[in-house]
């Protein structure tokens, strides 16, 4: 792979900064310092294939450990409920500026603490814009402060009686896309669309037919475990036809949008009314969330605090600004393209060895492997792979007979190992090692002797052999090269 897609070596100055920081921590609670050191050791020595994880740069990580953590700053830039927030204003404004420029968005809101928070801000912004505003106008009231208790009761009924149509969890959607146990499934009268039972692909005609029948206020697009691209222009056509607001959750593939791997109809920003995202995952920043929106929705989104959020995490917003500045550099486009190319290499590696992939492949950053052909549940596969030093997460497949806890699949992503410098040959080898582990694993039994969905038996010697093979690749692509903590 291209050398400039990997991380540069870390300077002795950066190593000194981390060593000094750990010494300070150890002076108060040495067990935390030791756990921090051990986490780096563990991450350096494992094949991290969790699609929602990555490795942030030292600059991003160091930005979070500052006195911005001590600030309260409810409100928005220039309009805070606390005094002394001029530097927080600078930080938040820069994060929003970088986000607008990077994604070509009209408006950006950098305050959400997580992807779920970002989705809640978006949902309530849509309700405020599409329901609360018109309701107040109809009632001839200027704002919510004029509401009587009877008014509130009527407005609560309107706000809580709206419809949302999102992608089902087993088809690759997220918990926050209307899954009944999640708050999103309780906020809305919700229905879900799935994928074609034969191909596992989205059928836009079926989505359109469901939207015409259900008439949702909100149409949600995006995914956490769908290994294909989405045509957001078609999703906007569907939304417009039924009068819905199109909200896209791009938390998983934001890096591919930022890196211009997804363009045109596959870029959600020109087509959606609101786009939510995390700032880690493929975007390779700090753990946090963000909302992009058209100017029409900006005033409602700006009410995220106090509508949904409390005090923004100023130190994390600062780290978001640094990460977004990194993503605006040409090297990030090289990285993003390599993420997609590596996912293709991983998928091809599985297919050439007879493994079964949901949708038959991938054209984004993730691969969804159906492990039922190995006679395993997702939980058994995940655990056996972890024994061998391969970190994945179990995941449902469409119409999964094992449900969301045990599952029938494992989800694998390429962003983290691409950051380390892995390329085509390494990902083909990763597929080979995973197939070797799964092919050497058998389901276990319960204490009563019945078949178990959780226990498993991994053949002797396999874990050590796979760890040794993984170590050869990992040693060639060290994590944070040059960073020494002792």
For residue 2, the model assigns a pLDDT of 39
Q: How far apart are CA 406 and CA 408, in angstroms?
A: 7
Q: How far apart are CA 383 and CA 371, in angstroms?
A: 13
377 an active-site residue?
A: no
For residue 54, the model assigns a pLDDT of 97
229 an active-site residue?
A: no
For residue 148, the model assigns a pLDDT of 84
335 an active-site residue?
A: no
CA atoms within 13 A on the CB side of 220: 35
Q: Which residues pair with 167 in a beta bridge?
A: 193
Per-residue pLDDT of the chain (486 residues; tens, 9 = 90+): 334 445 556 778 888 899 999 999 999 999 999 999 999 999 999 999 999 999 999 999 999 999 999 999 999 999 999 999 999 999 999 999 999 999 999 999 999 999 999 999 999 999 999 898 888 787 777 677 777 888 888 888 888 889 999 999 888 899 888 888 888 888 898 999 999 999 999 999 999 999 999 999 999 999 999 999 999 999 999 999 999 999 999 999 999 999 999 999 999 999 999 999 999 999 999 999 999 999 999 999 999 998 899 899 999 999 999 999 999 999 999 999 999 999 999 999 999 999 999 999 999 999 999 999 999 999 999 999 999 999 999 999 999 999 989 999 999 999 999 999 999 999 999 999 999 999 999 999 988 888 899 999 999 999 999 999 999 999 999 999 988 888
Active-site pick, 36, 37, 53, 74: 74
Going along the chain from its start, the domains and CATH numbers come out as: 68-327 (3.40.640.10), 331-476 (3.90.1150.10)
Distance, first Cα to last Cα, the chain: 31
Active-site pick, 249, 266, 326, 348: 249
72 an active-site residue?
A: yes
Question: Beta strands 163-167 and 218-222: pairing type?
Answer: parallel
Q: Write out the chain in H/E/C secondary structure.
A: CCHHHCCCCCCHHHHHHHHHHHHHHHCCCHHHHHHHHHHHHHHHCCEECCCCCCCCCHHHHHHHCCHHHHCCCCEECCEECCCCCHHHHHHHHHHHHHHHHHHCCCEEECCCCCHHHHHHHHHHHHHHHHHHHHHHHHCCCCCHHHCCHHHHHHHHHHHCCCEEEEECCCCCCCHHHCCCCCHHHHHCEEEEECCCCCCCCCCHHHHHHHHHHHCCCEEEEECCCCCCCCCHHHHHHHHHHHCCEEEEECCCCHHHHHCCCCCHHHCCCCCCCEEEEECCHHHCCCCCEEEEECHHHHHHHCCHHHHCCCCCCHHHHHHHHHHHHHHCCHHHHHHHHHHHHHHHHHHHHHHCCCCEEHHHCCCCCEEEEEHHHHCCCHHHHHHHHHHCCEECEEECCCCCCCHHHHCCEEEEECHHHHHHCCCHHHHHHHHHHHHHHHHCEEEEECCCCCEEEEEEEECCCHHHHHHHHHHHHHHHCCCCCCCCCC
For residue 9, the model assigns a pLDDT of 65
Nearest one of 184, 202, 204, 186 to 194, comparing CA atoms:
202
Q: How far apart are CA 85 and CA 72, in angstroms?
A: 8
Active-site pick, 7, 80, 287, 320: 287
Q: How far apart are CA 156 and CA 131, in angstroms?
A: 10
Q: How far apart are CA 282 and CA 292, in angstroms?
A: 17
pTM as predicted: 0.93
Q: Which residues pair with 278 in a beta bridge?
A: 289
The structure tokens listed for 161 are: 């009686």
Q: Which residues pair with 166 in a beta bridge?
A: 192
For residue 4, the model assigns a pLDDT of 44
Other beta carbons within 10 angstroms of residue 458's beta carbon come to 19
281 an active-site residue?
A: yes
Question: Beta strands 79-80 and 75-76: pairing type?
Answer: antiparallel
């Amino acid at each position: 792979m291209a050398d400039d897609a990997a991380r540069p070596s870390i300077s002795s100055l950066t190593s000194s900064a981390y060593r000094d920081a750990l010494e300070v921590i150890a002076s108060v609670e040495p067990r935390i310092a030791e756990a921090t050191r051990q986490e780096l050791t563990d991450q350096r020595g494992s094949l991290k294939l969790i699609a929602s994880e990555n490795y942030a740069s030292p600059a991003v990580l160091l930005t979070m450990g500052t006195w911005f953590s001590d600030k309260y700053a409810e409100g928005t830039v220039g309009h805070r409920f606390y005094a002394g927030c001029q530097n927080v204003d600078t930080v938040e404004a820069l994060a929003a500026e970088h986000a607008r420029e990077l994604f070509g968005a009209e408006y950006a809101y950098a305050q959400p603490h997580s992807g779920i928070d970002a989705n809640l801000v978006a949902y309530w912004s849509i309700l405020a814009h599409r329901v609360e505003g018109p309701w107040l106008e109809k009632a001839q009231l200027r704002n919510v402060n004029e509401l009587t208790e009877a008014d509130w009761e009527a407005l609560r009924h309107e706000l809580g009686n709206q419809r949302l149509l999102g992608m089902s969890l087993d088809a690759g959607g997220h918990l926050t896309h209307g899954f009944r146990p999640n708050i999103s499934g309780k906020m809305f009268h919700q229905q879900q669309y799935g994928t074609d039972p034969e191909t596992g692909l989205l059928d836009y005609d079926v989505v359109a037919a469901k939207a015409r029948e259900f008439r949702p206020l909100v149409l949600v697009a995006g995914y956490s475990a769908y290994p294909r691209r989405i045509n957001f222009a078609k999703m906007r056509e569907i939304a417009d036809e039924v009068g819905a607001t199109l909200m896209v959750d791009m938390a998983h593939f934001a890096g591919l949008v930022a890196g211009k791997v997804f363009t045109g109809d596959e870029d959600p920003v020109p087509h959606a009314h609101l786009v939510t995202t995390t700032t880690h995952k493929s975007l390779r920043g700090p753990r946090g969330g963000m909302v992009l929106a058209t100017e029409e929705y900006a005033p409602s989104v700006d009410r995220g605090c106090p509508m949904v959020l409390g005090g923004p995490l100023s130190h994390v917003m600062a780290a978001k600004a640094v990460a977004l500045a990194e993503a605006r550099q040409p090297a990030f486009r090289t990285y993003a393209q390599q993420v997609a190319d590596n996912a293709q290499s991983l998928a091809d590696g599985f297919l050439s060895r007879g493994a079964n992939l949901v949708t038959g492949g991938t054209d984004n950053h993730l691969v969804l492997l159906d492990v039922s052909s190995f006679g395993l549940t997702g939980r058994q596969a995940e655990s056996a792979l972890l024994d061998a030093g391969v970190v994945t997460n179990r995941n449902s497949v469409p119409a999964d007979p094992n449900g969301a806890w045990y599952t029938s699949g494992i989800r694998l992503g390429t962003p983290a190992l691409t950051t380390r410098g892995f390329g085509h040959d390494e990902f083909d080898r990763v597929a080979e090692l995973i197939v070797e582990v799964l092919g050497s694993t058998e389901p276990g039994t319960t204490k009563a002797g019945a078949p178990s969905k959780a226990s498993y038996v991994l053949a002797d010697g396999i874990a050590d052999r796979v760890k040794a093979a993984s170590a050869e690749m990992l040693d060639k692509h060290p994590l944070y090269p040059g960073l020494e903590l002792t």
